Chain A
Amino acid sequence: MIAATRNYMAEVWEAWNEFWFTPISPSTLSAIRVLAGAMLLYTHLVWSFDLNAFFGHNGWLPAEMMQEAEIAGNDPDGPGPVVGAPRWNWSHFAFAQSPKMMWTVHVVALAVFFLLMIGFFSRTMALLGFLFAVSYANRVTPGAYFGLDKINCMLAMYLMLGPCGARYSVDHLWRLKRGGPTEVPPSTFANLAIRMIQIHMCIIYLFSGIGKLQGEPWVTGTASWLSFAMLEYQSLDMTWLAKFPRLLNFMTHLTVFWELSYCALVWPRLTRPWVLLMAVFVHGGIILVLGMPTFGLVMLIGNLAFVSPKTIRKVFDPVARRISLAIVGKASRAGGSD
C-alpha cells in the first residue's frame, strides 16, 4: 500500500514535470510576443489622443477620486477590498505629473512596446512592457479599463518568463549576424511561459462561463440577442436575427457551453482544433459585430498558446526567413523540425 502510494506520487510528480518543464521550441512564445507587442503598442498609442484627459491629475478620472474608488472597490467585477484597506495599485502617473513629464514617459513606454514587438532586448522589454501596461491600467481602473487591459497585462507578464525573443526578433537576427546557430534550441522556460498562458486562458473562460450561468439571459438563451441589441457596442447591425429566435438561443447556449468546456476540451488533440475554431468564431464575432476588435484580437493572441510551434513556424517562418535573408544573409530553415 505504501509502495503503491509512493509510486503513484512519483508518477504524479513526473507528469507535473513533463507538463511544466519539458523543453519546447520557443516559436509559439515568440509569435505571441510579436502580436502582443503590437497590441500593447496600439493600445497605448491610442491613449496619445487623450493622454492628459485620462491620465492627468484633474482629467476625467481625478487622482484623488481614483484613489478613493480603488480603496472602495478596486474592480467592478473583481474582489472588493475590506473598506479602508490600503491597496497596491501602483502607477508611474503618481510621479509623472506635469504634462511634459507624462508625455516624456509616454513616448518611452511606446518605444518599449515597439521594441518588444520587434524583439530588441526582448526579455528586458517584456519586463518593462509589463510594468508600463499595469501602470497605465491601474490609473484608469475603475473608470476606463476593460478586458483588453487585463489580457494585455497577462500576456506581457508571461512573456517575460520565457525566451520570447528567441525567434522573429531583432535579437535573433543579431545572433545570426554574429555567427550564431540558425536553429534555436528548445527551452524549458518557453514551455513554462506557454503553459502559464494556457492555464490562465482556461481560468478566464471557465469563470466567464460560470458568470454567465448566473444570469437569466444566458440560461434562457436570449443573451445573444441582447448583445446584438445594445447600440453602444454595435459595429455591425445584426438585428435581422430577431426573426430567428432558435438560432439566437443556439448561439447563446453554444457560447456558454464552449466557455465552460474550454478548460477540458482544449487539451485533447482530438477536440483542440474545434475548441480553437470556436474561439475564432466567438472572438471574430466580437471583432466584427460587438465593436471590440482589440479585445477580440487579444483573446485570439492568448489562444495562440495552444497552437503548436510547428504550425506557428509554417505561418511565421516564410516571412521571417525573407527578412532574415535580406538583412543578415542567412536564416533558419522555414517550418523547421519542431
Chain B
Amino acid sequence: MAAAPVKPFGPTMQPTPQKPRPTPTLREPGASPKRPGRPGAFVRVVISLLIVWHFAGVFLAALSIPTSSQLVMDAAQHRPMQWYLDALYMNQGHSFFAPEVGPGHLIRYELFDQSGQVMEKGEFPKDEWPRLRYHRHFMLADQADMPGSEESSKYWQRRYLEAYARQLLRTNEIAQTALVRRIAHWPLPRELALQQRTLTDPEGYELLMEVTQRRSDLGPEETNQSLMWQGGQMNTAGRWNGAPR
C-alpha cells in the first residue's frame, strides 16, 4: 500500500504565487495622473472645493440643532452659509423621533352657527386618504408650535391655531365661530398596556391650547401674496417676542 503523499510544510514549502502588487510610485504632490474619463486637475480642484463647502453646510446645519455651540450657530446662521442652506432646502437637522418620542398631536374643532349651536365637530388627522394626506394633516397638528421660550411657544401655537380656525370658517360659510383645540396625545406607558388599557385611553390626552375665531376675524382677503414672500423687508422681528434659537 502506497503511503499517502505528505504535504510539504515549514521552511521547505514552495512559495505560492502571489498577486503582483503595484509598486508604489513617487508622485509630484497635486499631480495625480489623468485617467480616462476624469476631468482635468483644475476642474477636480474646483469641484473638490465645492464638495467640501457643500458638506460643511450639510454638517453644520445638522450640528446647529439647539443646543449647540455659538461657533456652530454663527457659522450656520450667517451669510453666505445660511443662504446656501436656505436655497437648497438643507437648513435642517435629522433628529427623527429624537431626542424624545412623542407626544403626537391632534386638532379638535367645533363650528358654531349664528345662534351659538354646534353645527359641526371634527378632528384631524383622522381618516384622510391616502396615508400621505393623513400625514400632512398630522403635521399641521404636530408643527403648530415653535421651539423656544414658553412665551414664544405659546405665541406661535396661538398663531397657528387661529389660522386653522380661520381656514375652517372659510371652508364652512354658514359657521360663525370656530373653536380649535390642540391636543397632545401621549404614548401609552407600557405598564398600562399590560393592564389592558388602550392607546385611546382618555388619560393620554392633554389639552394644550384652545382658540376661538369669529367670522369678523377673517378680515379682508389678502390678494398679493408676493408682498409677503419677496420681502425680508418687513420688520417682522419687531412683531415677534420670542428668544432666538
- Given the known inter-chain contacts A58-B166, A134-B89, A153-B88, please indicate yes or no for A80 contacting B135, CB distance below 8 A: no
Give the CA-CA distance A214 to B63 in the complex, in Å. 13
B211 within 8 A of partner (CB): no
Choose from B54, B61, B104 the contact partner of A78 (Cβ within 8 Å): B61
B226 near A21: Cβ-Cβ < 8 Å: no
A322 within 8 A of partner (CB): no
A79 near B99: Cβ-Cβ < 8 Å: no
B window 52-89: CB within 8 A of A? 54-55, 58-66, 73, 76-78, 82-83, 85-89
Give the CA-CA distance A21 to B37 in the complex, in Å. 8
A188 near B38: Cβ-Cβ < 8 Å: yes
B97 near A227: Cβ-Cβ < 8 Å: yes
Give the CA-CA distance A95 to B245 in the complex, in Å. 30
**What is the minimal beta-carbon distance from B111 to any residue of chain A, in angstroms?**
16
B225 near A17: Cβ-Cβ < 8 Å: no
- Given the known inter-chain contacts A87-B232, A207-B93, please indicate yes or no for A57 contacting B132, CB distance below 8 A: no
- Given the known inter-chain contacts A187-B37, A207-B93, please indicate yes or no for A69 contacting B146, CB distance below 8 A: yes
Q: Which B residues touch A58, using CB under 8 A?
A: 166-167, 170, 221-222
A231 near B97: Cβ-Cβ < 8 Å: no
Q: Which B residues touch A90, using CB under 8 A?
A: 87, 229
A window 119-174: CB within 8 A of B? 133-134, 137-138, 140-150, 153-154, 157
Choose from A67, A80, A150, A216 the contact partner of B231 (Cβ within 8 Å): A67
Give the CA-CA distance A143 to B27 in the complex, in Å. 55
Give the CA-CA distance A276 to B230 in the complex, in Å. 43
Give the CA-CA distance A89 to B138 in the complex, in Å. 23
What mask results when residues 176 to 209 of chain A are scored 1 for a CB within 8 Å of chain B, else 0?
0000000001111000100010011001111110
A window 206-252: CB within 8 A of B? 206-208, 211-218, 222-223, 225-227, 229-235, 239, 242-243, 245, 248
What mask results when residues 24 to 66 of chain B are scored 1 for a CB within 8 Å of chain A, else 0?
0011111110011111000010011001001100111111111
Q: Which B residues touch A143, using CB under 8 A?
A: 139-140, 143-144, 160
Q: Which A residues touch B94, using CB under 8 A?
A: 77, 147, 150, 203-205, 207-208, 211
Q: Which B residues touch A142, using CB under 8 A?
A: 143, 146
Q: Which A residues touch B96, using CB under 8 A?
A: 147, 208, 211
Give the CA-CA distance A18 to B96 in the complex, in Å. 33
Q: Which A residues touch B138, using CB under 8 A?
A: 232
B146 near A67: Cβ-Cβ < 8 Å: no
B82 near A81: Cβ-Cβ < 8 Å: yes
**What is the minimal beta-carbon distance from A62 to any residue of chain B, in angstroms?**
5
- Given the known inter-chain contacts A60-B163, A144-B136, please indicate yes or no for A84 contacting B95, CB distance below 8 A: no
Quick one: closest A residue to B84, CB to CB? Answer: A88
- Given the known inter-chain contacts A203-B59, A208-B98, A234-B199, please indicate yes or no for A78 contacting B93, CB distance below 8 A: yes
B199 near A23: Cβ-Cβ < 8 Å: no
B185 within 8 A of partner (CB): yes
Give the CA-CA distance A74 to B166 in the complex, in Å. 23
Which of B2-10, B13-21, B112-120, B234-242 sits within the interface?
B234-242
B140 near A17: Cβ-Cβ < 8 Å: no
| Most chain A CB within a 10 A radius of its CB, from B31, B90, B190, B224 | B190
Choose from A10, A75, A87, A150 the contact partner of B30 (Cβ within 8 Å): A10
Q: Which B residues touch A57, using CB under 8 A?
A: 221-223, 225
- Given the known inter-chain contacts A10-B27, A57-B225, please indicate yes or no for A138 contacting B36, CB distance below 8 A: no
A82 near B93: Cβ-Cβ < 8 Å: no
Q: Which A residues touch B240, using CB under 8 A?
A: 68, 71-72, 83-84
In the complex, besides A61-B140, A80-B244, 14 extra interface pairs with C-beta distance below 8 angstroms are A67-B234, A69-B146, A72-B156, A77-B92, A79-B73, A81-B245, A82-B78, A82-B244, A87-B232, A94-B225, A95-B225, A143-B139, A196-B54, A234-B199
Question: Can you identify 16 A-B contacts, CB atoms within 8 angstroms?
Answer: A17-B32, A23-B37, A59-B167, A68-B159, A68-B236, A69-B146, A78-B91, A79-B85, A80-B148, A87-B82, A137-B89, A148-B132, A211-B95, A215-B100, A218-B98, A243-B194
